[in-house]
Amino acid sequence: MRHLSGIVIDSEKNEQRLTTLPPTLYKGGSKDKVAGSQQQEQHYLAYLPHSGLSNQRIEFANALLLAAMLGRTLILPPAFLGTVIGWMEKEQIYDHLGWLTNASVPFERICRSATPGDLATYVRRSRCGEYRRFGVIPWTELHDIESLTQYVDIRFQEMVSLPQLQHDLGIDESDTYVHTDQHLYDWRLYEDLSVARKLLKTGTNYFDSFAGRRYYKVYTIKHWQRRSERLLQLGGIFGSTRFHLINPEHIALRDKIASVLHFRRDTHIGETAQNIVNYLGGIGSFVGVHFRTGDKPFKHQLPKNMVLFAQGMAELTGASEMPKEEDILTAIEKQQNITNNNHAGLGYEKKEDVISLEDEEKKRVFLLPPTEGLHLPPWSTVCRNVPTTKDIPITSGFRTVIYIATDQREPRSPTSKLLPWFDMFPCTVTLDDLPDYLFEPLDHVHDMIVPDKPLKSFLIPIVDAMVAAHAQEVFTTPRSTYSKFINEMNQAWVH
């Protein structure tokens, strides 16, 4: 082993093969499911989750792969919904998630609504705000992972706490190794030693992405294999490019994990998505779009992406004319000006200089889907579903039924960035347009830490993505890992 600029690189040839483990799934973090002598022999890999569900899923996939490569049992935390803290120092993550996953905390009592005269209801308001925007669900409710247990043992751990984990496993500090990340993208694992050496030799020990350079630390599998401690506690392991693999078995396992981590459809969540798909006309009877608008890179790319989607949609559906780029950009700019002009404090001296959002809303008339179904007028007289087989071309043009999954709040509101889309494609449906009865199965899904806490509102983005993935074709936002995930599900479910 040699050290270059403080970065560890292993010089030995990596002969590690995929370890095949017994198909055992340890559920609920119950250590008494493992015989005492067997538990003493177990070596574990744990990690710290963070950020939104899509990022957590990528971490989960990376953890599964690394645990299999190391022959360690994976310690799996729950999946977190809603507003989840982003990457930060591990002590802060433990502080936030440890409290939110502590079943002994009387959340419903200490986080009840503020009541005049009841001083206790005004205590912990900041933390209670986080609790109200946060949900906890087992990964098994989202993905059927049992087929992966032939490659890696999994032990569920509800509470995100290192002391609690050590206690549950019967492992002390001397048999625990805790890795501290310096950055979100702290290290990258390379199986090809020649590539790793070249990166260090040339000073290009980083990975370029559209968001900047990342992964300055170069590791090989030997770096983690040398840790003899029974518990290997990593920080965050987010990143779809974190592993540079050459071992065919590891590549095959990575692909297997990706296919297994599609959302399952045999749950209340899946039932809800199926209700909506049936309402729209069935699997493959509409065209989908996943339009990211929220995060900074996607806000900046919104005009470009709308042009890309609109022209692609027109071509796919055989529209009578191709939307012009300049017309789309002009409509987006006009919409942005309307929004900006109605924000307070912009210095407009005359009331007549301000375009009223109320007036703008009155001028705009949407074609909305009927509550009882798309087979009813006026929708049915204007809009057309697409053929459910790819052999038959789509010819419905601007009358095509389209479903948009998006992180844009209230897509039809006067300030929505997506309004120009509805002018071009009036037969577009969004989640906000759908009748409430379609979502009733979600009423049965509750928080795993606080069983009386409903998760319905937290599950809507999952349903949104699943519906789009049932389209005949789906347009996805460039460089979005979640869009890539939706496309993968679409290929598995429809094609």
Residues 117 and 230 occupy one common structural domain: yes
Is the pLDDT at 11 greater than 80? The verdict is: no
Residue 209 lies in a domain: yes
The vertex-172 CA angle with 169 and 176, nearest 5°, equals 90
296 and 212 share one domain: no
**289 phi-psi bin (left φ>0, alpha ψ -120 to 50, beta other):** beta
Local confidence band at 27 (pLDDT 50, 70, 90 cut-offs): very low
Residue whose C-alpha is closest to residue 482's, from 284, 297, 221: 297
Over residues 369-389, the mean pLDDT reads 95
Using the 3D structure, point to which of 260, 293, 309 is the last residue of a domain: 260
Q: What is the pLDDT of residue 15?
A: 31
Q: Is the pLDDT score of 57 beyond 90?
A: yes
Residues 112 and 217 reside in one and the same domain: yes
As a whole number of angstroms, the distance between CA 112 and CA 258 comes to: 40
The mean-pLDDT minimum among 13-22, 356-365, 371-380, 448-457 falls in 13-22
| Nearest alpha-carbon partner for 420 in 431, 407, 411, 429 | 411
* pLDDT for the residue 125: 66
Within 13 Å of residue 77, how many CA atoms lie on the same side as its CB?
32
Whether residue 212 is predicted with pLDDT greater than 60 in this model: the reply is yes
Q: Within this chain, do residues 281 and 160 fall inside the same structural domain, yes or no? A: no
Residues 281 and 379 both lie in one domain: yes
Please check the confidence at residue 31 and state whether its pLDDT lies above 50.
no
- pLDDT on residue 363: 56
Give me 300's structure tokens. Answer: 């900046």
This prediction's pTM: 0.86
In the chain, % of residues over pLDDT 90? 72
- Please report the sign of the dihedral spanned by the C-alpha atoms of residue 60, residue 61, residue 64, residue 69: negative
**Phi and psi at residue 74, in whole multiples of 5°?**
-80, 130
Residue 295 has pLDDT above 80, yes or no: yes
Asked which of 233, 260, 287 is the last residue of a domain, the reply is 260
Buried b / exposed e along 31-65 (16+ C-beta atoms within 10 A): beebeeeebeebbbbbbbbbbbbbbbbbbbbbbbb
Across all residues in the chain, what is the average pLDDT? 87
392-413: average pLDDT: 96
156: in domain? yes
Same domain, 67 and 204: yes
- Mean pLDDT, residues 146-158 taken together: 97
pLDDT, tens digit (0-9, with 9 covering 90-100), for 88-108: 999 999 999 999 999 999 999
- Regarding whether 273 and 207 lie in a shared domain, the answer is no
In this prediction, residue 40 carries a pLDDT of: 59
Is residue 105 a part of any domain in this protein?
Answer: yes
Q: Is residue 246 part of a domain?
A: yes
Among 323, 351, 357, CA closest to 337: 357
Question: Residues 253, 379: one domain?
Answer: no
Query: What is the per-residue pLDDT for 215?
Result: 79
pLDDT at residue 377 is higher than 80: yes
**Confidence category of residue 112, pLDDT binned at 50, 70, 90:** confident
Same domain for 302 and 394, yes or no, is yes
Between CA 220 and CA 9 the distance in angstroms is 7
Total domains present in the chain: 2
Could you tell me if 443 and 470 lie in one domain?
yes
Split at pLDDT 50, 70, 90, the class of 39 is low
Q: pLDDT per residue over 414-472, tens digit each?
A: 989 999 999 999 999 999 999 999 999 999 999 999 999 999 999 999 999 999 999 99
Q: Which of 66-75, 93-102, 235-244, 333-342 has the lowest mean pLDDT?
A: 333-342
pLDDT confidence of 356, banded at 50, 70, 90? low
Q: Is the pLDDT of residue 20 over 90?
A: no
Whether 226 is in a domain gets the answer: yes
Domain that holds residue 92: 2-260
Indicate if 463 and 484 belong to the same structural domain. yes
Verify that 390 and 246 share a domain, yes or no.
Answer: no
Average pLDDT of span 114-124: 72
Q: At which of 214, 237, 260 does a domain end?
A: 260
Give the largest CA-CA distance in the chain: 81
Which pLDDT band holds residue 340 (cuts at 50, 70, 90)? confident
List C-alpha distances in Å: 170 to 39, 45, 173. 9, 15, 10
Residue 347 lies in a domain: no
- Rounded average pLDDT over 325-335: 93
Lowest mean pLDDT among 117-131, 156-170, 418-432: 117-131
Neighbouring CB atoms inside 10 A of 237's CB total 25
| Orientation of helix 481-493 relative to helix 53-70, angle to 10° | 80
